[in-house]
Amino acid sequence: MNLWEKIKSGFRGSVETISDKTSEWSQLAKLRWEQQSIERSIGKSHNELGGKIYQLHVEKQQSQLTEQTKEIVQKLKTLEERLRQKQDEIKEIIEKGIDTQHLKEFRKDLELGDGTIDQLVIEENSKIIDKKLMEIKFPKNVLVGAVVREEQVIIPDGKTTFQQGDRVTLLGEKEDVEKAMEMLSR
């Protein structure tokens, strides 16, 4: 088996690794977004609590202070617990680490066989927006490995359509990947 065939046969495992790592990165981004959302909710609840305390103080209704603030304080405790859980999930992902060794080895194998892996973002003026993968004539030795749309990883098939902002991963023989990159960026 020649090097190029070896690379092609190893592609499936590498795409799965890339997909897994992209999924981990997406999960981390999602958790951080959820963490910020919870932090905003805590800030709003603090403001609500402070406003309620101030209002009751101004209206000289301190006797109602404990009663009306218990709900807000309980809400804050619940939000703070959710925040701790998100922080623990983020910490776990970071501590587990995102191993890039497989990706480095894959890139090295590609380069040995005069291959490469590259990625581009589909710009708003691209001619391939809303076109299906099967409608686009790529050079012979190029594979579309993955499409990342917002936080979703798509392993494309012929019916996959391209949208503005998609991050498209191409791999194959260096010359053909370069031609495909040029074609997609027009």
Q: Where are the domains of the chain?
A: 3-96, 115-184
pTM comes to 0.49
Q: Token pair 């603030």 is at which residue?
A: 69
What is the per-residue pLDDT for 164?
92
Average the pLDDT over 15-32 and give the result: 64
The string of pLDDT tens digits covering residues 107-165 is 777 777 788 888 889 988 888 899 999 999 989 889 888 888 887 888 888 899 999 99
pLDDT at 184 over 60: yes
Read off the DSSP letter of residue 136. S
Question: From CA 122, how far away is CA 152, in angstroms rounded?
Answer: 15
Average the pLDDT over 59-64 and give the result: 72
> Average per-residue pLDDT in the chain?
79
Burial (0-12, 13-18, 19+ Cβ within 10 Å), 134: exposed
pLDDT at 61 over 70: yes
- The topology under which CATH files domain 115-184 is Alpha-Beta Plaits (3.30.70)
What is the per-residue pLDDT for 159?
92
Question: From CA 171, how far away is CA 17, in angstroms rounded?
Answer: 14
Question: From CA 126, how far away is CA 128, in angstroms rounded?
Answer: 5
Identify whether the C-beta of residue 166 lies closer than 8 Å to the C-beta of residue 149: yes
% residues pLDDT > 90 (the chain): 12
Q: Token pair 């809303």 is at which residue?
A: 130
Identify whether the C-beta of residue 141 lies closer than 8 Å to the C-beta of residue 176: yes
Identify whether the C-beta of residue 156 lies closer than 8 Å to the C-beta of residue 132: no
Helices (H), the chain: 3-58, 65-96, 101-112, 174-184
Read off the DSSP letter of residue 186. -
